[in-house]
Structure 1
């Protein structure tokens, strides 16, 4: 209870003492606790995958198969992660990529942890107000769609660097499966067929004269079961296989990328490609109920925000109150409100801005952030800004998790931002470019496409990495590997990872149940909570609304989790999201 003032502690204890007991409904390995005696557990029914030695949980079954097969051949978790990454670049163009970037958290079998930042960078020609018109207003879609939306890609450099430092198999062996997928073709799932059909008009608009991602002939509509062949992408992958980093950032691929981007307002040129290098950084670590949490530092906001959230709710008896009970939800919303306000004010590229990491994670600071909490009513986001630090001067995405037989674990979240990125395909090279420039505060104080507000800490500057919400995370228990977790979802990534960890540790769910469980999200601004339909009982919703919470159903789903849990008997449980094609495969 060290984070609470005496007055707040008294109020908390009074609330617990007065709270009525709630009925419990058995559901698998956990009990669903609800205020509504007639409610049933409303979760997806997908079952977890259990294996003894290795596990890969990824967004596409072909990518998971590639990762598991690489470990079958003697590769370790990093080899499998690299192979899975390149397979996703072929089989999952919605978010898998060569033209984007991301983050990796790696925990070696000896317990040492590492994090790799391969986030995209702004080109050297970029400047603070490049997305504003003559009146200082944001030009719609310019940082989101088309050639000017792209930052310098970091994905290939990141995979090369991860393999150089920790890989076991030869580089050519971990790339070969992706080449075969590109050249022989991938059988489209129903979700991928629908996705390609949805972006057909944008692909045609931003790629005149090209036929990439378009189905040609009499029938122009992609269908489940169609074979999707990408010969130019296969050639690009062969150059990367032969020359490593130079196969992308130099030579023919670089020439094609530069030629494609020449029409952008801040075009990517050869000096941008030469200057790009991923960065090894010190992971963010914290504890929650005796578990060690290892996550991603800035340029990602995910690790700091996740540890803040866990520390802020740790004093509360969430297990006793129950999953998605009104009190549980209230403290989670209020913690999220304050953490996202801090994100907007204090987080950015640490190579350009002094991020106050230690101060943001300080217990006294977090206790002060709770000082204006009131059980009786919702806080007002307009009245809650980023916290004051004395003396200090101031997603579409995909995730996959890998554990090998030796206990090495990899958590990678990678992105081209929105689904299919900027919708620009590099002519002759066959890969999509990112639209990550939109993740900058293109005008500080103005929300981006995810509704996130940023400050000068995340303003556009040449060579700067844009802030991210990606939260690849590894959790230890009693000094041993316990859980690997992460998800796509833009601004909702942090809260989805947060809830999944709570689902396992506080609510006793299995890995798959924690992934299946319906989720909610609050991000400070806009001042509302969205939730997947069915996530709350009517009684819990009414109690929250009576206190002034603006809470409304999400039009779609939240999260696409791919996670792994290590069970007490040493088996691995893969939990892949039922909301899409996510698949866990092991042996």
Structure 2
């Protein structure tokens, strides 16, 4: 399949690309599957009928390049860009714009994100294009006269929930610095998708139907994402987005100016005025993504490269790995009671530190070095004991001398030269603030909820923040996004990341260990059932079937609150480099996520 076919989006080809059976995807590569015994992991001999996997999905293998994202069409766009001679950055940028069309729940130009890039020579770069609080934002903007949180979830839905978007500026900066193809080339697939339409997957149709009432509430007299006959969307229906195509054409022609200035900016500001939002032209003019130094450390013989603040992901992931590194997880086994116990206790302490210490480094002094110091982590761990669960009410953020307390989607890419990109972007909640910019056709984010709208009060994800993450004008809100790249012996090994709100960090943590300790293939590591603990509330949620009954009994006897849930945890899109240089894509079976290679 060449790029021309994707751009024309003929119905027959689109049907093949979107096929959830993965048949078309697997035809994109002729690489032979490794021996069946690779990934020796088996669940446990306690219950031979149990399966460790949410479902089983075939890996995708490639030699020359691979893209894995939340939507099959977007992944195909990424690979076709690679086939044209583009590099991993070109593929990442084209895929992100395509996702803004085909995956409206989280793909975005009205939000922001983080990128980790490792070039073919091993140099690493991270780009922060997280949204910022508008200049007219204030610490107590969501509180009433009694300092209580106002009713109406104002930080979560509606016009007041949006921060200044960063995606367009960030993607342009990444492309200008590292891209090979032209800006016009990498934008064209998304434009054609918006103009000609894209067939809805069953999941996308269901999502649009579920959000219909909120879209009507916050977008009176608009018809975006609505069927003309008011009927429900169904799988295979074609979603055409003419206004979004017009916006993307302006971005294609003018770069960031096509979004932050001119017609699009006027439409965005008119939408803010219409609904009581506070983003101004000054906010748009002053928004610029920031290149930051990666958080880098080791786990045994592996080098971990991840995102620094205002993402909490990198620091948290490395803290988690350092806590469990001394233990024989491989010997104990996947999801055994001992393995699970040390992972839960690590998560408990890391999320407590996240609450106390992490925020936008341009506004607060984040003790990054101290939080990763071996002696500090040793002190944080000294009250752990195998005989019983720790109490989160007792576990607080650690003490550091000299300091005072003060919907998302992921994609991974590699090209034939070995450049790698891990990129996580978000609108925050599914379909963001539910506000569509009239005339421009894109959804706005609801990232203001990621601030501590009142220190000590949990946000929608249950995360508790404090002074370090209090609202301030032009400040970036704390994030859990954890785009990560892993090296082994100086060579690229893994590209990791996921959406999932507060579960992002623990999902990346588990998939990393599934490969590094439990010898799973990348697809097995992604498919494996997951669990999550975030300090508060003091309970562990897990995907149904993740533990045997015997293991649950042992953990509960020690005082762990273990709650099965029907909702899935995370939707990983990852890449593993095999010893012979072959790329293995692991795209999450929990959703429409798809890996495509060639």
Q: With structure 1 as the length reference, what TM-score do the two structures score?
A: 0.94
Secondary structure in 2 matching 1:564: strand
Partner in structure 2 of residue 11 of structure 1: none
Deviation at 1:137, TM superposition (A): 1.1
Using the TM superposition, give the Cα deviation of residue 528 of structure 1 relative to its aligned residue in structure 2, in angstroms. 0.2
Matches within 5 A, 1:274-293: 274-293=285-304
- Tell whether 2:224 aligns with 1:212: yes
1:248 aligns to 2:259 (yes or no): yes
Aligned twin of 2:12 = none
The residue number in structure 2 matching 1:459 is: 470
- Structure 2 distance, partners of 1:27, 1:451, is 41
Partner Cα separation in structure 1 for residue 558 and residue 398 of structure 2: 24
Do the aligned residues in 1 keep the contact of 2:316 with 2:351 (CA within 8 Å)?
yes
Report deviation, 1:360: 0.1
Is residue 179 of structure 2 the alignment partner of residue 167 of structure 1? yes
Q: How does 1:315-334 map to 2 (within 5 A)?
A: 315-334=326-345
SS at structure 1 position matched to 2:184: helix
Q: Structure 1 residue 196 and structure 2 residue 203: aligned?
A: no
1:222-237 superposed matches below 5 A: 222-237=233-248
In structure 1, the partner of 2:362 is 351
- Map of 1:416 onto structure 2: 427
Moved more, 127-136 or 314-323: 127-136
Q: Displacement of 1:555 after TM fit? A: 3.0
**The one of 111, 121, 143 aligned to 2:155:** 143
Counterpart residue number, 1:156 = 168
Q: Deviations over 1:370-394 (max 9, x none)?
A: 1110111100000000000012234
Question: In structure 2, how many angstroms separate the alpha carbons of the residues matched to 1:85 and 1:469?
Answer: 19
Paired position in structure 1 for 2:114: 103
Select which of 459, 470, 475 maps to 2:486. 475
Moved more, 41-50 or 271-280: 41-50
Tell me by how many angstroms 1:207 deviates: 0.3
Aligned residues of 1:35 and 1:540 also touching (Cα < 8 A)? no
1:515 corresponds to which of 485, 508, 526: 526
Which of the numbers 559, 572, 577 marks the counterpart of 1:548? 559
Cα distance, 1:30 vs structure 2: 2.2
- Structure 2 counterpart of 1:40, from 46, 50, 55: 50
Q: 2:278 matched to which residue of 1? A: 267
In structure 2, how many angstroms separate the alpha carbons of the residues matched to 1:27 and 1:131? Answer: 55
Contact 2:43–2:50 (8 Å) recurs in 1: no
Do the aligned partners of 2:52 and 2:529 also contact (CA within 8 Å) in 1?
yes
1:8 aligned partner: none
Q: State the Cα RMSD in Å.
A: 1.0
Q: Quote the residue 1:15 is aligned against.
A: none
Query: Contact 1:496–1:558 at 8 Å: present in 2 too?
Result: yes
1:568 corresponds to which residue?
A: 579
CA-to-aligned-CA distance 1:130-150 (integer Å, 9 cap, x gap):
001122111231000000000
* TM-aligned CA deviation for residue 40 of structure 1: 2.8
Counterpart check, 1:297 vs 2:283: no
Check whether the contact 2:495–2:574 (CA below 8 A) recurs between aligned residues. Answer: yes
8 A contact 2:43–2:52 mirrored in 1? no
Q: 5+ unaligned residues in a row in structure 2: which ranges? A: 1-35
CA drift at 1:316: 0.2
Instruction: Indicate which of 508, 511, 523 corresponds to 1:497.
Output: 508
Is the 2:47–2:548 contact (alpha carbons within 8 Å) kept by the matching residues of 1? no
| Alpha-carbon distance in 2 for matches of 1:576, 1:528 | 28
Please state if 1:73 is matched with 2:77: no
Query: What does residue range 121-136 of structure 1 map to in structure 2 within 5 Å?
Result: 121-136=132-147
2-structure distance, mates of 1:466, 1:93: 22
Residue 223 to residue 37, structure 1, CA distance change in 2 (3 Å): closer
Q: CA deviation at 1:484?
A: 0.2
Match of 1:13 in 2: none
- How many pairs were matched up? 560
2:408 is the counterpart of 1:400: no
* C-alpha distance in 1 between matches for 2:274 and 2:365: 34
**Alignment deviations for residues 209-247 of structure 1 (CA, whole Å, 9 cap, x no partner):** 000011121x51000000000000000000000000100
Query: 1:33, 1:325 within 8 Å by CA — same for their partners in 2?
Result: no
Instruction: Give the 3-state SS of the residue equivalent to 1:32 in structure 2.
Output: coil
**Partner-residue secondary structure (3-state), 2:334:** coil
Alpha-carbon distance between aligned partners in 2 of 1:214 and 1:171, rounded to the nearest angstrom: 31
- Gapped regions of structure 1 (runs ≥ 5): 1-25
Query: For the Cα contact (< 8 Å) 1:125–1:266, is it kept in 2?
Result: no
Shift of 1:53: 0.9
Of the three residues 423, 433, 458, the one matched with 1:447 is 458
Report if aligned partners of 2:94, 2:187 keep a CA contact under 8 Å in 1: yes
Of 500, 506, 513 in structure 1, the residue corresponding to residue 517 of structure 2 is 506
When residues 510 and 139 of structure 1 are mapped into structure 2, their CA distance, relative to the original with a 3 A threshold, is same
Q: Tell me how far apart the structure 1 counterparts of residues 566 and 333 of structure 2 sit (CA, whole Å).
A: 25
TM-superposed deviation, 1:289: 1.7
Once residues 440 and 210 of structure 2 are traced to their aligned partners in structure 1, the CA distance between those partners, rounded to angstroms, is 23
> Which residue of the partner structure matches residue 337 of structure 1?
348
Equivalent pair of 2:337/2:555 in contact (CA under 8 Å): yes
